[in-house]
Copies of this chain bind each other. A is one copy, B any other.
Amino acid sequence: MILTLTPNPALDVTYQVDRLRPGHTHRVGTVSERAGGKGFNVSRVLHEMGVPTLAVAPAGGVLGDSIRADLEASGVPHALLPVSAPSRMTVAVVPGDEDPTLFNEAGCALPDEDWDRLLALVAQRLEEAGVLVCSGSMPPAAPADLCARVVELARRWRVPVVVDTSGPALVAAAKAGADVLKPNTAELLEALDVPDPVDGARALCGYGAGAVVLSRGADGMVAVTAEGEWRAVPPFAVRGNATGAGDAAVAALSTGVEEQWEWPLRLRAAVAWSAAAVASPLAGSVDTPTLHRIYDDVLVESL
């Protein structure tokens, strides 16, 4: 089972409008809402692909109730920790042809006791876990060492840990010895202030990460590992919704870690699942025909 931890979940609300007109009143046509957060998306993809998973996150207030209800409805196994701080919301305004406009609430700070309880909940379920995934942003005022503590917890339980986060937490996860990190190019350049992202990936391994998979959008991915360095490129560009593509890659990588695939196979799966996620309109889902069409033709080669 792959345990995913989403430290900063949200209820993602999407508003379809004809056109966004600043300063005006919009009658919202279609409203949809969904439990949002990168760890949830990883669990959704795993669940869809038939890989056992458990999504762990804090949830509070009425939006926490909505998050719980949506996970129930989706059938994704989950263990949400009830907390007093209300869960946050994001609003995406989607006009017909234009780019969506996003409003992300930062979220409420959790007291330290809640983080301790959340890590205790993770520890309790680690016994059944083959991999721990920690995905997404940290909430405001989260302990600076939260990500490092998650990595250390997994190492104590001898469970490999895959981390997909950004900023200082990315570097902290490397120093704590995370088995796999999956930054994208922008996240890596921002966190390390290096000119070349592949050098940045190597630097993260130098800090202590077991491997770094760098996602480069339509250009595919690069893996820097102790066993070697590879790059993988999709056979053609897939058009669609890039939100959640990175989460599908993390789902593939963590499956590969759990099933002890060789690195070239992990990277092939990560690129294929990611492209299939772009072809699916919903984040946290992969388009199976695209997956089948692309999988064998992903080009994987040593760097």
Q: Does A102 contact B (CB under 8 A)?
A: yes
C-alpha spacing A93/B23, complex, angstroms: 9
Closest to A98 in B: B23
Residues of B within 8 A of A17 (CB): 103
Q: Does A22 contact B (CB under 8 A)?
A: yes
Q: Does A21 contact B (CB under 8 A)?
A: yes
Q: Given B29, B31, B62, B103, which contacts A15 in the complex, CB threshold below 8 Å?
A: B103
B27:A104 contact, CB within 8 angstroms = yes
Further contacts, 17 of them, CB under 8 A, given A28-B103, A91-B103: A15-B91, A15-B105, A20-B22, A22-B22, A22-B95, A22-B98, A22-B101, A23-B98, A23-B101, A25-B104, A26-B104, A27-B104, A27-B106, A31-B105, A62-B62, A62-B63, A62-B66
A102:B31 contact, CB within 8 angstroms = no
Closest to A108 in B: B31
C-alpha spacing A277/B15, complex, angstroms: 31
Q: Does A65 contact B (CB under 8 A)?
A: yes
Residues of B within 8 A of A100 (CB): 23
C-alpha spacing A116/B27, complex, angstroms: 27
B26:A103 contact, CB within 8 angstroms = yes
The number of residues on chain A lying at the interface, defined by a beta carbon within 8 Å of a beta carbon of chain B, is 31
13 A-B Cβ contacts within 8 A? A20-B101, A22-B101, A23-B98, A23-B100, A23-B101, A25-B101, A25-B102, A26-B101, A26-B103, A26-B104, A28-B103, A28-B106, A62-B63
Q: Given B21, B95, B105, which contacts A28 in the complex, CB threshold below 8 Å?
A: B105
* Distance in Å: Cβ of A25 to nearest Cβ of chain B: 4
Residues of B within 8 A of A193 (CB): none
Most buried by B among A21, A65, A89, A99: A89
Closest to A66 in B: B62
Q: Does A156 contact B (CB under 8 A)?
A: no
Contact with B along A84-117 (1 / 0, CB 8 A): 0000010101010011111111100000000000
* Distance in Å: Cβ of A296 to nearest Cβ of chain B: 36
C-alpha spacing A100/B26, complex, angstroms: 11
Top 8 A-B residue pairs of the complex, sorted by shortest distance between their CB atoms = A23-B99, A62-B62, A25-B102, A20-B22, A62-B65, A28-B105, A26-B103, A62-B66
B62:A101 contact, CB within 8 angstroms = no
* Distance in Å: Cβ of A222 to nearest Cβ of chain B: 26
Contact with B along A46-86 (1 / 0, CB 8 A): 00000000000000001101100000000000000000000
